[in-house]
Structure 1
Amino acid sequence: MAINIPSKTGKKRSILLDALRILAWEDYRSVNKEEIKLKKLKFGGYEMFEEEWKADDIHNMTYPELLDFVKGLEFTEGELINMRANYYAKKAKSNAMAKMENQAISNNQRGNYADRLQNGQNGHVEEHEFDVSELF
């Protein structure tokens, strides 16, 4: 692998391209939300979208060509960059909430086990109460 230091224009192009990818993915997901085969795939079919996205001619466009393309879609560069920032902020918040929820569940399970020990069960768990997740 080679080290690559992009120019300012190269970095702006990369961010704009990513914003367009997000816009296209959200539309793809919306248009195809009833597709059974996509529902069964991991991440709602992102792999299929990604394959099509990578094959798109948009990747051959220069920064000025991308700007013209964006204008043709009736967006400004700033609008797409803000949309991208909001997307990643929402994603980060969602990931943080899921992590907190998983932690709360884990803490609750440890707490339940500790409660049983404290209530004189000496770690003995009835067979019908056994939860494998308490082992980890």
Structure 2
Amino acid sequence: MVQAATGIAAAEAGPDGRPGALPAQALDHGTGYLLAAAVLRALSDRQRTGGAGRVIRLSLAGTASWLLHGLSPVPPAGGGPPGPYDPGDPAPWLTVTGSPYGPLRHALPPVHYAGAPRTWDRPPSRWGTDPAVWR
């Protein structure tokens, strides 16, 4: 419904004009990732400066607008509408790992603290080759 309301269904329409959908659940996943990042930011701010809790407001429609229009998901500190989003240089957050599929460029773990792993503990494997066990 959000994809239809925000114009994504029209943007993803097929040649016959029938409304389409994103090939992945980008709004659900993206909003979840933004929420996780906002919670971590609120906790780290509280740890660093003290203070009370924080209200975090996100929505699927807000994430759709951000993805469609390149706007920041967060309003400026002084208030007002969100402005253009500048993610900065992603290079410090990326690495290349060898895999059975060839070199794989991917994101590093997003959380950093003393003793945290700086990279993933093992490279990806071929689909369907891992045993179904918890590690």
TM-score between the two structures when normalised by the length of structure 1? 0.32
Identify the structure with bigger relative contact order (alpha carbons < 8 Å, sequence gap 6+). 1
The higher radius of gyration belongs to: 1
User: What is the TM-score of this pair, normalised by structure 2?
Assistant: 0.32
The answer to which structure has the higher helix fraction is 1
